[in-house]
Amino acid sequence: MKGFEAIAFFNGWRIAGAGVFIVFTALVTLSFVISQLHKLLTVWENKDEYIKNAMQLFAKKEKVAVHPKLRVSKNFNESARQFNLLTKSLRDPFFSLPRLILLAKKVDISHPHATVNKLIQAKLIVPDDKGFYYWDHTAYKNILEKE
């Protein structure tokens, strides 16, 4: 048996095709791994620096997440107490919201905008229709009594 018949009979095409494919796969894979090797070694040799940078990044995120001053107060009443004290420190019963929020940020109250919004919705901070706001002490006393 000779010629193409012999090749087909002995699965020559498949063997040749598979052989070329396997050789190429082996060398392409090796080539890729080797091309990344010096980069991996660079990372390994400077691993202390990389770990330090990663830790710093993680630590910053942790601060943002767990700093007690920045933690969102789940207790609305606690927020109300904090802002009650803030409004008293303003001395003027009528105040602007930006000034109140700025003061809240200075004393590290978390999420001052959202908290002020809740207090407005709860009618503890009331608009005076002249662009300013005031603290409703009556409403605040009612909240304290409910506690």
Partner 1 sequence: MLLDFFANTGFAMADYRNFIMIVIGLIFIYLGIAKHYEPLLLVPIGFGILVGNIPVFKGLGLSIYEDNSVLHYLYFGVTTGIYPSLIFLGLGALTDFSTLLVRPVLMLLGAAAQTGIFITFLGALALGFAPNEAASIGIIGGADGPTAIFLTAKLAPNLIGPIAVAAYSYMALVPVIQPPIMKLLTTRKERLIKMEEPRTVSKKEKIIFPIVALLLCCFIAPAAIPLLGMLCFGNLLKEAVVTERLAQAARTSVLDSVTILLGLTVGASTQADIFLTPKSVGIFVLGAVSFCIATASGLLFAKIMNLFLRTKINPLLGAAGVSAVPDSARVVQMVGQAEDPTNFLLMHAMAPNISGVIGSAVAAGVLWSFMM
- List contacts with partner 1 (CB under 8 A): 1-4, 6-7, 10, 12-13, 15-16, 18-20, 22-35, 37-38, 41
The dihedral built from the CA positions of residue 19, 21, 23 and 25, taken in this order, carries a sign that is negative
Residue 4 C-beta: closest distance to partner 1, Å? 7
SS3 call for 127? strand
**Closer of 50 and 58 to partner 1 (Cβ):** 50
**Closer of 27 and 114 to partner 1 (Cβ):** 27
Residue 46 C-beta: closest distance to partner 1, Å? 13
Return the structure tokens found at 5.
Answer: 């018949």
Residue 5 C-beta: closest distance to partner 1, Å? 9
**Closer of 49 and 78 to partner 1 (Cβ):** 49
Return the structure tokens found at 134.
Answer: 């005031």
- Concatenated DSSP letters of 120-132: HHTTSEEE-SSS-
What letter represents residue 78's amino acid?
E
**Closer of 15 and 144 to partner 1 (Cβ):** 15
Residue 17 C-beta: closest distance to partner 1, Å? 8
Number of helices and strands in the chain (H, E)? 7, 3
Is residue 116 within 8 A of residue 97, CB to CB? The reply is: yes
